[in-house]
Amino acid sequence: FDEMSSRIRRQVEEMRGLEDMRRELITNVSHDLRTPIAALQGYLDTLLLKGEEVIGAEREEYLGIALSQCQRLGRLVEELFELTKLESKAVEPHFEAVSIAELVQDNLMRFRLPAAEKRIHLEAELGPEMPFVRADLRLMERVLENLIENAVRFTPEGGQIEVGVEDLGSRVRLQISDTGCGIAEEELPAIFDRFYRCQFQADSGYRGAGLGLAISQRILDLHGSRFNVESQVGVGTRFSFELPAVEM
């Protein structure tokens, strides 16, 4: 009887925890949706009410802002859908032998232009014979995309971002280092939580949903890996994780 009672109590606590998570998710989603919808409605209302009075550059500005808010909503919905699939275990990874060199170089190419616009030195430390890893290529591209995009966004002009690869024998370590604003030590445990925004993100006016790192960690969960994060405010941040090596 005691064992059954304990089991029922644990199940009730789990259900309460899930209900708390559901309420928190609804609250956060409602807040993140409300802001761009309000902005979108405001500019479109102005265009409808004033009609032909809004012309030329002003009209273009209003339409541009409305479009950017639509794109923001689209990204939020897409990320929520992606995170929901990952958390519900609806994503079945397709593991294959992935060239770590190609994975890194392909992702760096995507961010050459935005990095150059901020005069950020973006480079990779790759040896002549780089290992292969066991991974889902599409999912792992998503992880690197999130990490490099964050590094470019929060590294000041003239900074540096470096992607390194270390061959550990049976495993391979990837690390992304930047000279950005850094993350306070007390915030590190929460950065992989859904919708979490660090203080420097709030200070910078960043409007992202705070889902990128949560998505990335759940992808690493599917690969049996975890992030290691080292950061110092005003100095920079280093994210690293390991994947199993594959002999070719």
Q: Are strands 96-99 and 132-135 parallel, antiparallel or unpaired?
A: antiparallel
What is the structure's pLDDT at 12?
58
Classify domain 2-87 by CATH architecture. Orthogonal Bundle (1.10)
CA-atom Rg of the chain in angstroms: 22
Kindly provide the b/e burial profile for residues 234-246, where b requires at least 16 CB atoms within 10 angstroms of the residue's own CB. Answer: eebbbbbbbbebb
Q: Do the first three CATH levels of 2-87 and 96-246 match, i.e. the same topology? A: no
Task: Give the span between the Cα atoms of 212 and 226, in whole angstroms.
Answer: 15
In order along its 248 residues, the chain shows pLDDT tens digits of: 556 566 666 665 655 654 555 555 555 555 566 666 777 777 777 777 777 776 677 777 777 777 777 777 777 777 777 777 777 777 788 999 999 999 999 999 989 988 999 999 999 988 778 889 999 999 999 999 999 988 998 899 999 999 999 999 899 999 999 998 888 888 888 888 877 666 665 565 555 556 788 889 999 999 999 999 999 988 999 999 999 999 87
**Tell me: domain 96-246, CATH 3.40.50.300, correct?**
no
pTM tops 0.85, yes or no: no
What residue spans define the domains of the chain?
2-87, 96-246
What is the structure's pLDDT at 172?
94
Task: Give the span between the Cα atoms of 98 and 141, in whole angstroms.
Answer: 11
What is the structure's pLDDT at 27?
56
Task: Give the span between the Cα atoms of 57 and 164, in whole angstroms.
Answer: 45
What is the structure's pLDDT at 197?
67
Residues shown for the chain: 248
What is the structure's pLDDT at 28?
56
